[in-house]
Amino acid sequence: MNIFTYLNTDENHLKELMWDVTNNYPEWTQDRVFESVKNVIDSVHAHIKKKNELVLSNVRDHESISDVLSKWDEQTSNIDETINSLIMIHVDEPGFEQLLIKLSKMVDNLISFSKDELYPAVRSVATEEELNRMNKHLDSLVLS
């Protein structure tokens, strides 16, 4: 299985989850919004963890892509801060929907950044062995 194909599929799934909850927020019950937002938050955390563990931890040459990695760290830290703020607000409080929309935009930006900068940078420095290790690591997690 190709790691980058898998991550693109995962990103599309994450976008769909975000779209679903942000667009249906006004019509859904508070319980449904709460459960959906919990699912979105878990998915965002899982997606970031996958990129860190499957891709970034398998590349040795971090120095050559340090600028891109700094941007990655900054964006993921900002997402974590927004998630923490979202967790502190009740679904029916003012500001909840705005934070949810902000998180959605941040996730979209992270996905665009991954496609435009992170993946190309990783591909440019990763050895064939490292790419194979990423794919094998992915296989071990996905396949039984």
CATH number where 104 lies: 1.20.120
Taking all residues of the chain, what is their mean pLDDT, rounded to a whole number? Answer: 94
Total domains in the chain come to 1
Give the pLDDT of residue 144: 64
Answer yes or no: is pLDDT of 130 > 80: yes
Give the pLDDT of residue 91: 86
Nearest 5 degrees, angle CA 88-CA 89-CA 93? 170
Residues of the domain holding 97: 3-142
Give the pLDDT of residue 28: 94
Q: In terms of pLDDT, which residue wins out, 144 or 67? A: 67
Q: How confident is the model at residue 142 (pLDDT cuts 50, 70, 90)?
A: confident
| Mean pLDDT calculated for residue range 127-142 | 92
The SS3 of residue 144 is coil
Answer yes or no: is pLDDT of 111 > 90: yes
Ramachandran quadrant class, 29 (left: phi over 0; alpha: psi -120 to 50; beta: rest): beta
The SS3 of residue 30 is helix
Considering the entire predicted model, what is its pTM? 0.92
pLDDT over 70 percentage in the chain: 99
